[in-house]
C-alpha cells in the first residue's frame, strides 16, 4: 500500500470515529465498540464500497479498541466543541 492510500485510510478512520461518536450519546465503551463493529461488518459485506473506506472503518475500530472509556469521552468532548 502506498503512502497516499495509507494517509487516506487514516483520514477516513478519523472521520468514521468522529461521525460515530457524534451520532449517539453512548453510555459505555462496549456500546461504542458494538456500534463500530456493526458498521465494520456492514461495510465489509458491501461490494460497492471502496476498499479504502472499508479499511477506514477497520482502522477506526482498531483505534477505538485501544482507547479507554475516559479517552473516548474526552475525544467526544473535543470534537463536539467544534
pLDDT tens per residue, range 20-68:
999 999 999 999 999 999 999 999 999 999 999 999 999 999 999 999 9
- Taking the CA atoms of residue 13, residue 61, residue 36 and residue 27 in that order, the dihedral angle to the nearest 10 degrees is -110
pLDDT band at 81 (very low <50, low <70, confident <90, very high): confident
Q: Is the pLDDT of residue 82 over 80?
A: no
Contact call for residues 36 and 20 (beta carbons, < 8 A): yes
pLDDT of amino acid 16: 97
pLDDT of amino acid 1: 80
Query: Does pTM surpass 0.85?
Result: yes
Amino acid at each position: 500500500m502506498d503512502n497516499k492510500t495509507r494517509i487516506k485510510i487514516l483520514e477516513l478512520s478519523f472521520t468514521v470515529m468522529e461521525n460515530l461518536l457524534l451520532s449517539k450519546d453512548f453510555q459505555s465503551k462496549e456500546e461504542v465498540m458494538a456500534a463500530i463493529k456493526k458498521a465494520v461488518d456492514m461495510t465489509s459485506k458491501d461490494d460497492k464500497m471502496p476498499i479504502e473506506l472499508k479499511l477506514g472503518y477497520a482502522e477506526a475500530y482498531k483505534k477505538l479498541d485501544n482507547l479507554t472509556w475516559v479517552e473516548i469521552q474526552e475525544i467526544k468532548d473535543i470534537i463536539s466543541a467544534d
